[in-house]
Structure 1
Amino acid sequence: MDLHGPLKKFFGFNKFKGLQEQVIKSIVENNNTFVIMPTGGGKSLCYQLPALMKEGTAIVVSPLIALMKNQVDAIRGISEEHGVAHVLNSSLNKTEVAQVKADIANGITKLLYVAPESLIKEEYVTFLRTQTISFVAIDEAHCISEWGHDFRPEYRNLKHIIKAIDNVPVICLTATATEKVQEDILKTLGITDANRFKASFNRPNLFYEVRPKTKEVEKDIIRFVKQREGKSGIIYCLSRKKVEEIAQILQVNGIKAVPYHAGLDAKTRVKHQDMFLMEDCDVVVATIAFGMGIDKPDVRYVIHHDIPKSLESYYQETGRAGRDDGEGYCLAFYAYKDIEKLEKFMASKPVAEQEIGHALLQEVVGYAETSMNRRKYLLHYFGEDFDEVNGEGADMDDNSRNPKKKHEAKEDVVILLNVIKNTLQKYKSKEVVNTIVGKENALLTSHKTHLQPFFGIGKSKTAAYWMALIRQILVVNYIKKEIEQYGVIKITKEGERYLENPTSFMMTEDHAYNEENDNAIITNAKSLGGVTDEKLVKLLRDLRKKVAMKQGVPPFAVFQDPSLDDMALKYPVNLDELSKVHGVGEGKARKFGKDFVKLIETYVEENDVLRPDDLIVKSTGVNSGLKLYIIQNTDRKLPLDDIAKSKGLEINELIKEMERIIFSGTKLDINYALDDLLDEDQQEEIHDYFMEAETDKIQEALDEFDGDYDEDELRLMRIKFINEVAN
């Protein structure tokens, strides 16, 4: 059967990609078919082409509305008939549903995309039963398996619905599935006889790196993104709150970024997705809700601010980088604390689900902490061997570029394999390790393992060491994890052979991602809130005095002391850097900054100062939103009490926020509020005081006026004063 004719006719392609041709043949010949093909491998063509060739309508079950819409538009683009593809979901009205049904009945519709929830509806099932259905395709089939990374209970029912409609062939497609998930999908759908096709999971153009996640993680991300200005990237976070925070920090630091998560309304989500596609923004900060339906070939990096819940998720999310076979950089930040957080979330789930969740998380820990070739580790997880010397992309990860120390571990491998054997191969890795280091628990006691002569045989080394060794012999296939009782370790034939004739085994030493290692990335003590340069502070003070005299304002109105201290810590040498110094802001930098950055630049050169290579990261302050709100509403001359109340603030807290705004050089007009509090003479008296004062400390002003004015009045007057003379 030649499929090249239809391929050219419908899609204009001359040749198939990878396994496409064999898969399509299987479907055209009416066989149940199971396809595992990594993202970007051309999965959708596998069911689109046979649907266009065969008589009747193919039903495509997909969980993603955005994806369905994209595909329907694409298919309509290659056909004269608008009705060639339709979506059937909750967003349609009665008239639209009637049109869909008419097109199917008239044989126009070749592809009908439905969400699993819609397929359950009695009226649709009844209607479809009377039509000619060519086959049912289930996209994102890992949703069927509770071992999959995106399990959806409504997917479990598909088998019965498909049977109710017609006895037609089923094709399942997924971009990630371990053996466990594959078995689960085939069993649940009752198609264990399916032809199976599995493409290689290796994406040789992707570079994998895991870094310890420290308190400086935002700074690291900004530095990474700034080095790739103008390139597209995705940053994944686990919570909506974190997405908003990171997007805001990036925006404040001059990076075009937008947030994307399920809490945003549909219109905003579509807008942000389109901005990313049309390159109106460089970075999308997102929860995993993003990217499923997006096919942007030139995403250059994917950053995981939080480590995901499973290696499938990780593989799928990193797989959005470099789909055009160009550069793709996958950077994950990892701290064991995050794993503990995820385990806490699981505590409320049913026990069976918890067990699955823990097992999947342990695989993630293994990947993050391993010091072996990351690509080899990842591909092994998906049941694929990888040659870390000659394989495609062999040196494309941090571990291969910076190899860790190795040592001979032949005797330890023998100990490990013997303990697995002597405990009758019925334990998971944790219990095997507990046995070796001699740590009792209820399970070991119930099997009387704690009484065995080998209990505690390896207690001279840590549990983490033995855990790392288990991971390394798992990848070279001396042991395997049982599929049915997931996680139980069995010795393989290779493992048996090794025990009979042990040879050298060089074990790589794992990374230590512990708390003490928290500052692993930060090389410059200054950036940790180090010591200010006193000599420079003195020079800056003198300069401040000069500038103040020239401008006819008191020195504190130019820059406050904390700002000078921060300059002597960060050495800003241009106005952009100066604007990121504590309490400065762009307005102030422009107004007074020129002489200051000139002085600092000369000082840095003459004294060979090593400037912190750390970016000076602008913080969003907790509330750039609040700042905007205050500016807008003082412009509208709203009473300060009302502004404070609507934001749940006390009046003194509002004044504090207003001081923050004013001290960073932004104008804020509160004359209308002061006019209600103080008459012209009183205002003039306080203004003159600040003009002559050595310092702007409120306590000194209170002492000076000796009870004539209260603290709020003086603080508001100081805001007006700074606004007029300094901003």
Structure 2
Amino acid sequence: MYELHTLETYLKQFFGYDSFRPGQRQIIEEALQGQDLLIVMPTGGGKSLCYQLPALLKPGLMVVVSPLIALMQDQVDALLDNGIGATFLNSSLELSEMRSRSQAILNGKIKLLYVAPERLLNPGFLDFLDNIQARIGITGFAIDEAHCVSEWGHDFRPEYRQLQRLRQRYPQTPVLALTATATKRVQKDIIQQLHLKTPSCHIASFNRPNLYYEVQRKQRQNYNQLLKAIRQQNGNSGIVYCLSRRKVEETATRLHRDGIAALPYHAGMTSRQRTDNQNRFIRDDVQVIVATIAFGMGIDKPDVRFVFHYDLPRNLEGYYQESGRAGRDGENANCILFYSPGDIYRVEYFINQKTNPDEQRIAQENLRQIIDYAEGTVCRRTIQLSYFGERFPGNCGNCDNCLNPQPIEDWTIEAQKFLSCVARCREKFGITHIIDVLRGSRKKKVEQYGHHLLSTYGIGKDKSKDQWKLLARSLLHQGLMSKTTDGYGVLKLNKKSWEILRKQRSVSIAVPHQKAVKSQDTSSLSVEAEMLFDRLRSLRKRLADANNVPPYVIFHDSSLRVMARDRPQSLADFGDISGVGQRKLEQYGKEFLSEIRAFCYEHQPPVSLPSDTQMATLQLCQQGLSIEEMAERRQMKPSTIVSHLSELIERGQPVEINFFISGIRQKQIVVVIEQVGDQSLTAIREVLGEDYSYDEIKLVRGWWRNQKRRI
């Protein structure tokens, strides 16, 4: 059984990581104690580990509810590559394979079982679960993508509602609900729908500091704008989202024609086509996937370095979720939204297809929020995180508005006019109506409510509609005004609003200017290290293809970058790298070390010629003198002569090492150097023991280094 102080040991053993990410350890401890849990953690935060490690440390089987076959396959591949017993049961398997896997589960060989909600609730499968519970026990139910249980979530799935039957059938079995995005309303709904019992709730920050956010106004030749942005990503993997299937096909075709390896993905393709294209993207056979929002939740690819939205998304939560598919490994990634006011009409067209008035109203509110984001001049994260109820102070240093701040102007008087109009309209209207009153509009709605008779009617004619919208958005983003979230977007005054009206608070806003923003570099490696990184990626791709798994299953980009930067020379040093567990060290250590050593040899500085004193020692050596005789002849210490000889051997000079140390002892020393590296003579001798002298080790190390240079 585990002990809490050894959790880090298990983390390194099974997953190759030295420390937990923020929040993980406490969640895992509570899961080990059998608590129900609600875990809201952004993409890339490490949600899966929160149920995978407890599953390994507790007796029985952890059942993971996952919505997509592709997602199951990828996660199981990664677990198996780490030497962890995991499997999935779904419609992609032959009957014989289903039976084989089911028997392995009942025999206790499997610790994690992935299954879709539809199969899980099948009466026959529930009987199978009863059998599992009786024979080996069920550790818990992990409900992945738990936001699907709520009709208020961005991806509601009715079949998720039925998962509450698990609590009725297995009342004592812990339930862990996990999702990357959930507003407070969705969180409450998840707890109620899944019947979680006094759950421990862990709501991590929604901030993804490694993601760079930018909004670019679409240019006249917007395809060329997109193509240029993709080419700036240096061949890294990325996703381009489009609003329609036709746009997906056209864009993928044009990119392919212009030399970008790209494939389409949308709901109009056959299931086989979608699966093939998705697999080719995951396995790095192509650089870019061009997709509608049909592509996403089933993608477990951590090294997506950019996500571009070629069209305006339909809502802010969807944009956060889709852009969040970049940089899941914690490395830097770019998220660019290409925006044109003309996109609004296309989104409105989809909204108008809805027949339910309430759905239309909510969709319109969602559209207003994403427009606020696209046209906003404050920190992009401030806007995003406020949607989830999280306050962010701004100045993130990793978005276009923070890196290229707009000029700040004092708009206190304009703010007083705006807020006064909100008050005189009795806080019952949204932004558009308030602006109509301020600008003296003759719309029927203004006169219908008698607002043409207000003192604020027409006092804002000196500003355009866009300028008043800019002010309204800024007041909301700064918390100087509020609005309802019921889909109507009715403006409300708060304490700070009244401070402005009473001249107790000033208002400054950022005014847009034309900005030239360049995408952030996704790497901080030196040029030479980048060259090695590319070679290691190529090796990873060859190994992945040979093992029929996605490349990231071998190692994440973040691990390869550390290898390229630190260039380990021994298995021990290689095993210290984050992401290298015991299983991966045994499987891939020697091949990656060989590639690193070969690169180091090819890029090492030219070997200098032996010095005059070393050449004098070489002449005596060639006369057959022993080390002691050479030292006596040259009036030097024997250790100095050994240093000369080891340097000569390393430089490939004709020194016969067998004259000084036997072949058997040479081989033993080489074995240890291969294990602990060639940097520390003391470390090598500690393993060999006192029977071996430093002189022997130094001579063999010179020979070993020479051999590595000649590989």
Q: TM-score, normalised by structure 1?
A: 0.63
Q: Which aligned pairs between 1:273-672 and structure 2 lie closer than 5 A?
A: 273-349=278-354, 350-389=356-395, 391=396, 394=397, 396-434=398-436, 436-437=438-439, 454=456, 458=460, 460-482=462-484, 487-510=489-512
Distance 2:368 2:257 in 1: 37
Preserved CA contact (<8 Å) 2:182 2:388: yes
- Specify which of 170, 191, 194 is matched with residue 175 of structure 2: 170
Q: Secondary structure at the match of 1:209?
A: strand
Unaligned runs of 5+ in 1: 514-519, 522-727
- Specify which of 7, 25, 31 is matched with residue 11 of structure 2: 7
Distance 1:192 1:485 in 2: 31
Partner of 1:56: 60
Preserved CA contact (<8 Å) 1:207 1:330: yes
Preserved CA contact (<8 Å) 1:206 1:321: yes
User: Structure 1 residue 17: deviation in Å?
Assistant: 1.0
Preserved CA contact (<8 Å) 1:212 1:334: yes
Cα 1:223–1:189 change in 2 (3 A) is same
Preserved CA contact (<8 Å) 1:479 1:492: yes
Cα 1:245–1:479 change in 2 (3 A) is same
User: Structure 1 residue 309: deviation in Å?
Assistant: 1.3
Distance 1:506 1:50 in 2: 51
Distance 2:483 2:447 in 1: 23
Cα 1:420–1:217 change in 2 (3 A) is same
Cα 1:97–1:38 change in 2 (3 A) is same
Distance 1:500 1:261 in 2: 54
Q: Name the stretch that deviates more: 254-263 or 484-493.
A: 484-493
Preserved CA contact (<8 Å) 2:420 2:456: no
- Specify which of 79, 86, 91 is matched with residue 75 of structure 1: 79
Preserved CA contact (<8 Å) 1:136 1:162: no
Q: Name the stretch that deviates more: 205-214 or 459-468.
A: 459-468
User: Structure 1 residue 209: deviation in Å?
Assistant: 2.0
Q: TM-score, normalised by structure 2?
A: 0.64
User: Structure 1 residue 368: deviation in Å?
Assistant: 0.7
User: Structure 1 residue 272: deviation in Å?
Assistant: 3.2
Preserved CA contact (<8 Å) 2:362 2:487: no
Distance 1:477 1:73 in 2: 46
Partner of 1:116: 117
Q: Name the stretch that deviates more: 277-286 or 246-255.
A: 277-286
Preserved CA contact (<8 Å) 2:60 2:139: yes
Preserved CA contact (<8 Å) 1:379 1:385: yes
Cα 1:9–1:216 change in 2 (3 A) is same
Partner of 2:193: 188
**Paired AA for residue 112 in structure 2:** L
Is residue 89 of structure 1 aligned with residue 90 of structure 2?
A: yes
Q: Secondary structure at the match of 1:230?
A: coil
Is residue 205 of structure 1 aligned with residue 210 of structure 2?
A: yes
Q: Which aligned pairs between 1:117-266 and structure 2 lie closer than 5 A?
A: 117-129=118-130, 131=133, 132-191=137-196, 193-266=198-271
Distance 1:465 1:211 in 2: 19
User: Structure 1 residue 367: deviation in Å?
Assistant: 0.7
Distance 1:31 1:489 in 2: 41
User: Structure 1 residue 35: deviation in Å?
Assistant: 1.8
Q: Secondary structure at the match of 2:213?
A: strand
Q: Secondary structure at the match of 1:23?
A: helix
Q: CA offsets, 1:183-214, max 9 Å, x none?
A: 34334334484322222333333322222224
Distance 2:309 2:344 in 1: 13
**Paired AA for residue 384 in structure 2:** L
Identity %: 44
Distance 1:158 1:440 in 2: 54
Cα 1:482–1:256 change in 2 (3 A) is same
Preserved CA contact (<8 Å) 2:362 2:486: no
Cα 1:385–1:281 change in 2 (3 A) is same
Preserved CA contact (<8 Å) 1:59 1:112: yes
**Paired AA for residue 377 in structure 1:** I
Q: Name the stretch that deviates more: 36-45 or 290-299.
A: 290-299
Q: CA offsets, 1:137-164, max 9 Å, x none?
A: 2212222333332222222332245434
Distance 1:310 1:16 in 2: 33
Q: CA offsets, 1:618-670, max 9 Å, x none?
A: xxxxxxxxxxxxxxxxxxxxxxxxxxxxxxxxxxxxxxxxxxxxxxxxxxxxx
Preserved CA contact (<8 Å) 1:72 1:87: yes
Preserved CA contact (<8 Å) 1:236 1:285: yes
User: Structure 1 residue 68: deviation in Å?
Assistant: 0.9
Q: Secondary structure at the match of 1:376?
A: helix
Partner of 2:576: none
Q: Name the stretch that deviates more: 24-33 or 2-11.
A: 2-11
Cα 1:136–1:449 change in 2 (3 A) is farther
Preserved CA contact (<8 Å) 1:370 1:511: no
Q: CA offsets, 1:508-527, max 9 Å, x none?
A: 235799xxxxxx99xxxxxx
User: Structure 1 residue 79: deviation in Å?
Assistant: 4.1
Q: Secondary structure at the match of 1:87?
A: strand
Distance 1:53 1:235 in 2: 40
Q: Secondary structure at the match of 1:371?
A: coil
Q: Secondary structure at the match of 1:365?
A: helix
Distance 1:477 1:269 in 2: 44
Distance 2:406 2:228 in 1: 26
Q: Name the stretch that deviates more: 452-461 or 406-415.
A: 452-461
Distance 2:501 2:55 in 1: 53
Cα 1:161–1:324 change in 2 (3 A) is closer
Distance 2:315 2:43 in 1: 17
User: Structure 1 residue 364: deviation in Å?
Assistant: 0.8
Distance 1:433 1:56 in 2: 62
User: Structure 1 residue 278: deviation in Å?
Assistant: 4.1
Distance 2:425 2:412 in 1: 20
Q: Secondary structure at the match of 1:204?
A: coil
Partner of 1:560: none
Q: Name the stretch that deviates more: 158-167 or 173-182.
A: 158-167
Distance 1:444 1:190 in 2: 48
Q: Secondary structure at the match of 1:343?
A: helix
Partner of 1:717: none
Q: Which aligned pairs between 1:6-45 and structure 2 lie closer than 5 A?
A: 6-45=10-49
**Paired AA for residue 357 in structure 2:** V
Partner of 2:671: none
Equivalences, count = 508
**Paired AA for residue 380 in structure 2:** R
Q: CA offsets, 1:402-452, max 9 Å, x none?
A: 433433211232333344445554444445445545658898788776665
